[in-house]
Amino acid sequence: MAEVKLEDIVSLAKRRGFIFPGSEVYGGLSGTWDYGPLGVELKKNIMNLWWKMFVDDADDMLGVDAAILMNKKVWEASGHTATFTDPLVECSNCHGRFRADKLDDPNKCPSCGKTGTFGEARAFNMMFKTNVGPVDDEASVSYLRPETAQGIFTNFKNVVDTFYPDVPFGIAQQGKAFRNEISPRDFVFRSREFEQMEIEYFVHPDHWQPLFEEWVKRIHLWCDALGLPADKVHELEVPDEDRAHYSKRTIDFEYDFPIGREELLGLAYRTDFDLQNIQRASGKNMEYRPKDGSAPFVPHVIEPSFGVERALMAVLSAAYTEDKVNGEKRIFLKLPAHLAPVKVAVLPLVKNKPELVEKARDVYQVLKKEFGNVMWVDTGNIGKNYRKMDEIGVPYCVTVDFDTLEGDTADTVTVRHRDTTQQERVKISELSHTLL
């Protein structure tokens, strides 16, 4: 199989209704993307899988859904208003603005090609600033959250007071985050509006190391569940000088994207940085009191942080496949069945035979009740329809044909497997079991 290129993924995503450029009818808005019918389903499946693996299937995890708008003191205490910045340079020739640390050549403008046109880099805060209420003044200032983590930390005491979980325990959250990126790039990899899936795992300060290693294992299981090849997932131990100021240990999990090896997700040991900040800034006690009566302590935190869009981009990159069928090139998405946006497609062989179409509709209704997102396809010839279903990653196509209606093969259908294109005859009564 040829190496997957980013333009292959972008083309398929738009052509088949996964992802569209944001506000495209009005000329677009840089760094924003809209998810079409298939993209919505794929994103939802990824997020639901994450919640199942890390929350529903765990005994030590609770969920929250905090507000996007928060008191500005949250971001002052966390350091975001002072330090959440990127280095910005501007070209004096074309006035293009770029992240200084992402330039291939720090002396050459990637837009106009001129050299020596950049001045000194300046700090650019990436938070979107807004005002809450009718008065536009300093007292009404708030920000669109740049991460979901602080919503978890600010609810730590609420969760402990209402549920009193044993340490270690985690609080999980999924939701939108916003960053005013200087130069969003590489499709959905770096955008201004995105979704995060984050966990703050609260631990006793003496026990963080073995629990950190356990999280490394959990993350690899997650990558396996996404269908990512193990040899394309890499651990980067982040050195002291490159770690965030709050972290004593960080591992970046990188993936071999079509754009190169880039960060897929991160795992950080944040110590008690955040809870101590809240305790100082709010005056509220953030100590945890063990049930056995031992000394209270401010918990330390292990944070696995996942980006939905980067996971989705990795899934599409891993699944994108080209082969040849009967001498013709075929493009298909080899998605894990549990992530596929459409689980099954039902195809009547022809649409001008009412009894055949009616039978196919009956099969469709049964499968839709069983599997949820099942597609009805009755346009074009059967071969073209198979190729379309392959391209959007449908694991199985069920064809209702003339043999379904009569003779020894009555009440049977043809099941075609996406990855191999092989077909088998299956009784309608056994379809659900066959397709599981």
Q: What is the DSSP string of 328-359?
A: EEEEEE---TTT-S-SEEEEES-SS-HHHHHH
Q: Is 116 within the bounds of a domain? A: no
Measure the CA–CA gap between 308 and 387, rounded to whole angstroms: 28
> Do 151 and 293 fall within a single domain?
yes
Q: Is 75 within the bounds of a domain? A: no
> Do 157 and 225 fall within a single domain?
yes
Cα end-to-end distance, the chain, whole Å: 28
Q: What CATH number should be reported for the domain holding residue 191?
A: 3.30.930.10
In the prediction, which pLDDT does 2 show? 57
> Do 286 and 374 fall within a single domain?
no
pTM of the predicted model as reported, rounded to 2 decimal places: 0.92
The average confidence (pLDDT) of the chain is: 94
| Residue 388 backbone phi and psi in degrees, to 5 | -65, -40
Segment 374-402 mean pLDDT: 94
Measure the CA–CA gap between 417 and 424, rounded to whole angstroms: 9
Task: Name the residue type at position 412.
Answer: T
> Do 237 and 371 fall within a single domain?
no
Measure the CA–CA gap between 145 and 149, rounded to whole angstroms: 9
Q: Is 376 within the bounds of a domain? A: yes
Segment 416-434 mean pLDDT: 94
Q: Is 216 within the bounds of a domain? A: yes
For residues 13 and 24, the answer to whether their CB atoms sit within 8 Å is no
Q: Is 85 within the bounds of a domain? A: no
Q: What CATH number should be reported for the domain holding residue 384?
A: 3.40.50.800
> Do 304 and 413 fall within a single domain?
no
Percent of the chain with pLDDT over 90: 82
pLDDT digits (tens, 9 = 90+) for 147-180: 999 999 999 999 999 999 999 999 999 999 999 9
Considering its fold, how many domains does the chain have in total?
A: 2
Q: Is 325 within the bounds of a domain? A: no
> Do 286 and 373 fall within a single domain?
no
- Show Cβ contacts of residue 130 under 8 Å, excluding neighbours closer than 6 positions: 69, 141, 142, 143, 144
**Taking the mean position of all CA atoms in its chain, how far away is CA 171?**
18
Of the residues 317, 352, 375, the one at which a domain ends: 317
- Within 10 angstroms of residue 58's Cβ, the number of other Cβ atoms is 15
**What are the angstrom distances between the C-alpha of 24 and each of 31, 186, 189, 336, 399?**
12, 17, 18, 30, 37
Asked whether the predicted pLDDT for residue 182 surpasses 90, the reply is no
> Do 297 and 199 fall within a single domain?
yes
Name the H helices within 180-289: 208-225, 273-282
For residues 308 and 324, the answer to whether their CB atoms sit within 8 Å is no
> Do 307 and 414 fall within a single domain?
no
Segment 54-69 mean pLDDT: 97
| Residue 268 backbone phi and psi in degrees, to 5 | -130, 145
> Do 304 and 366 fall within a single domain?
no
pLDDT digits (tens, 9 = 90+) for 233-256: 999 999 988 888 888 999 999 999
Segment 317-325 mean pLDDT: 94
- Range of 281's domain? 6-70+146-317
> Do 165 and 245 fall within a single domain?
yes
Segment 38-61 mean pLDDT: 98
**What are the angstrom distances between the C-alpha of 418 and each of 157, 168, 404, 425?**
50, 43, 21, 15
> Do 222 and 355 fall within a single domain?
no
Altogether, the residues listed in the chain come to a count of 436
For residues 38 and 16, the answer to whether their CB atoms sit within 8 Å is yes
- Show Cβ contacts of residue 357 under 8 Å, excluding neighbours closer than 6 positions: 348, 351, 378
> Do 235 and 296 fall within a single domain?
yes
Q: Is 127 within the bounds of a domain? A: no
Positive or negative, the CA dihedral 208, 209, 211, 216 is: positive
